[in-house]
A and B are shown apart, each in its own frame.
Chain A
Amino acid sequence: MTMRDFRFFHSAAKLQKRLFREREREREREIMACSRLMWATRAASYLRISVPFTLRVRGFSSVLKDLKYADSHEWVKVDGISATIGITDHAKDHLGDVVYVELPEVGASISQGSSFGAVESVKATSDVYSPVSGKVIEVNEELNSSPGLINASPYENGWIIKVEMSDKDETNKLMGSDQYSKFCEEEDAKH
């Protein structure tokens, strides 16, 4: 190895170490932020308060008590035979800033667990799946011009579709808020 090669490899190794240290420091900051926010999140979700933007920390995203959840991170709010569907705080944290939403046609039939559209963020398109079966009766047209509503307000203004359910009992297969919170923690612990 020549001196020049050695210098290149040495600076490459230094750069790698620096990247690693920076990632470690970032992780430490996240953990500190986690513990400060944890009580706030739990209290807020129990009280069904929409938690503000500060919750960027993985594993402690807000979960609302009166919704049902799919393991693909969509939520559903049931009102009679009508269901409003969106993606959760956890999902949008893991996606990054949404720049595009592909919506289904009104009148389309969808089934539980199958894809009804997609969102794009950080140059990645991610399919979204319906927690229930039925017919699409309304789509959130606002998302065409303001896809960021999903990030700003995933449970309210960032709703994606409304469905007339064909089988209300399907919601029994979904998770409640506590079960979903636990599911998210277990998923985040995998890495």
Chain B
Amino acid sequence: MRVPRSLEVWKMGTVNYLDALKLQEKLVSDRKTSKIADTVLSLQHPPTYTLGKRRTDHNLLIPESELKKIGAELCYTQRGGDITFHGPHQAILYPIISLRDIGIGARNYVEKLELTMIELAALYGVRAFAGQKGETGVWVGERKIGAIGVRISYGITSHGLAFNIDPDLSYFKHIVPCGIADKEVTSLRKETDSVLPTEEVIQGQLISCFARLFGYSNLIWKEKGSILSDNGEN
């Protein structure tokens, strides 16, 4: 009795963090009034540190004034989770979907986001697993390969997941990632011997895993590289 469900996929390239945040706010509002269907943004960010609603800036280990020197920005958000880093070669998905339409809550949603990354890692022979209680995210052994931070407003999701394909891991040295000390951060490149295809292919696989786990049978792909200069389109 399942109605075939559609997902619109926006392939966006590299997007400034704050621009992506403003776009998500607009899309959440549009999704709430059913102006748009379930949508997922697939993108990467330039080097950016972000904090969640709890503002755990004690987990940033260098002064904010030093960030510019290393070519990074700091952004405050309303998402859940602790401090994290986003940068080139890290695949990001921001699903803007209605959880009420599919009858699931935060916990189930986050579990599915974890499974999305676990299944992607499995495609390259990497055995990843969801974190223990209080350590939401995706791990390979004691090393974190995928992070999650989500906001749910009127049952509509924003923010989402970040999967390390091959980012510059030295950026993580300037924070206590996700507030969990003594745990390393890793990437797909470090964990697999497989030859990796292009990042576009890997991001496409990530979206396919997501779509399958959430039961979307119809994907509508949109190239939205220039969306932020293109206000009329929606």
Is A169 in the interface zone, CB < 8 Å from B? Answer: no
Bound CA–CA A91/B155 (angstroms) = 12
Of all chain B residues, the one with the shortest Cβ separation from A189 is B103
Are B103 and A188 in contact, with the CB atoms below 8 A? yes
Q: Are B80 and A120 in contact (CB under 8 A)?
A: yes
Interface centre among B78, B102, B106 (most CB of A within 10 A): B106
Chain B residues contacting A94 (CB-CB under 8 Å) are: 104-108
Do the beta carbons of A187 and B107 come within 8 Å of each other?
Answer: no
B106 touches A124 (CB 8 A): yes
Whether A102 contacts B80 by the Cβ 8 Å rule is: no
Task: Chain B residues near A36: list those with CB within 8 A.
Answer: none
- B122 within 8 Å of A (CB atoms): yes
Query: What are the residues of chain B within 8 A of A95 when measuring CB–CB?
Result: 105-107
In Å, the complex CA distance between A118 and B148 comes to: 18
Chain A residues near B123: list those with CB within 8 A: 9, 12
Residues of A in contact, count (CB < 8 Å): 32
Residues of A within 8 A of B100 (CB): 187
| Number of interface residues, chain B, beta carbon within 8 A | 41
Q: Which A residue's beta carbon lies closest to that of B154?
A: A127
Cβ–Cβ < 8 Å partners of B118 in chain A: 19
B2 to chain A, nearest CB (A): 10
Partner of A123, one of B103, B110, B194, B215: B110
In the complex the two chains form, is B53's CB within 8 Å of A102's CB? yes
Whole-angstrom distance between the alpha carbons of A120 and B152 in the complex?
10
Are B107 and A125 touching (Cβ within 8 A)? no
- Smallest Cβ distance from B112 to chain A, in angstroms? 10
Question: Would you list which residues of chain A between 123 and 157 have a CB under 8 Å from chain B?
Answer: 123-127
CA distance A189 to B81 in the complex (A): 29
A3 at the interface (CB under 8 A from B): no
Residues of chain B contacted by A118 (CB below 8 angstroms): 53, 78
Contacting residues of chain A (1-27) with chain B, CB-CB under 8 angstroms? 8-9, 11-12, 15-16, 19
Task: Check A70 for interface membership: any CB of B closer than 8 A.
Answer: no
Interface string of B67-108 (1 = CB under 8 A from A): 000000000001111000000000000000000111111111
- Name A71's closest neighbour in chain B (CB-CB): B100
| In the assembled complex, B47 has its CB within 8 A of some CB on chain A | no
Instruction: For chain B, residues 117 to 136, give those with C-beta under 8 angstroms from any C-beta of chain A.
Output: 118-119, 122-125, 127, 133-134, 136
Q: What are 27 inter-chain pairs, A to B, with CB distance below 8 A?
A: A8-B125, A11-B125, A12-B122, A12-B123, A15-B122, A15-B127, A19-B118, A94-B104, A94-B106, A95-B107, A118-B78, A120-B54, A120-B80, A122-B110, A123-B79, A123-B110, A123-B137, A124-B79, A124-B106, A124-B152, A125-B52, A125-B151, A188-B103, A190-B103, A190-B104, A191-B102, A191-B104
Interchain residue pairs A-B with the least CB separation, the first 8: A94-B105, A190-B103, A96-B107, A123-B81, A124-B150, A124-B106, A123-B136, A12-B122
